Structure 1
Amino acid sequence: MNEVNFMVDINLIGTFHVIKAALPMMKNRVDRRPASIALMSSQAGQVGIYGYTAYSASKFGLRGLGEALQQEVVADNIRVSLIFPPDTETPAFLEENKIRPELTKIIAGSSSAMPADEVAKIALNGIRRGNFNVTCNFDGIMLSIATAVLSPQSSYMMAFVEVVAAGFMHFMALYFQWSWYGTIERWFAQKKRR
């Protein structure tokens, strides 16, 4: 349980406190040009992944924070961006991979890691455009469409794509989910036979 507390404290509560400290200044800025708040979530904040219980919980929480916050600050010309990167090639990720459960590596391997500078470039472009959901690769786009539901959407084109593709993306999401559960069941069945 300490790992859950740590992850929630860092990823969710820490983010909340930074926003709480900065928001009064952002709301009272002299120039009324658009301002941005960026929240760094994860693809594991769009879909739960084996071995990431605490991490996914903390990153899913950012979505609720971002959705509610966007409603509260839109009148102040402040845009919230929720960034959903895949595994990102950083020194911390390399260290994490050393202790990551083997089953997590298999499941997470369905989406390849991206270079950190590429993730940063995509994130900054999404923030500049005022996108709420900022995805970094094709898998992220699919997850975003499959999980969009009531997320803020400022692009009519993307809203149209979400509505039209929702059924198909839900079907694809079920395929991946069933595949992951099948992998988990086979993994543990094989361990029992040993």
Structure 2
Amino acid sequence: MSMLENKFKGVLLMGLATAVVFTSCSKVKRDPGLEYSPQMYRSVPYNPDQPNSVFADGKSAQTPVAGTVPTNYEVFHYPQTPEGYEAAGAELKSPLAQTKENFEEGKRLFTNMCSHCHGKTGMADGNVVAKAGFPAPPAYNSAQLKDLPEGKMFFSITYGKGAMGAHASQLSKEERWKIIQYVQYLQKQ
């Protein structure tokens, strides 16, 4: 390569660098300058209830593909029906070992999540019943509940039963089983 070619390449490179510096700077603080593919990081946010020409049906909110499962979704194979309740009672068993740690954690969870209605000892004398006048749930050692299978308890905590609402969104599957271990202790009292 000749000296003239090297000099020409140097001047060309300097000119290019100067052009990049001047075009990428702006007096406007929020101006990003030239952007490569801005649509990749500044996408158009569609509102779910607004029309959208991108999809064939014209809707922004699309139905999930068949067979998809949401993140952290718990698959519970018993329908919320009387038949599902009975099937859970006959088939569903706790996967947790009967340990002191699980029992203690179940007691803590029961105290925090259940005792306001069921009472600290499961006698249906919690503050919501005693002070607010809500109907009392059956006591755990009553004829109705003392022999209740753990599958039915899990079903009831998951979906709710009677005046009790569903607790699946507040308690993980493992936490519900720990509470059931503690409730089984209270049933024998």
Q: TM-score scaled to structure 1, two decimals?
A: 0.22
Counting helix residues as a fraction of each chain, which structure ranks higher? 1
Counting strand residues as a fraction of each chain, which structure ranks higher? 1
Structure with greater Cα Rg = 2
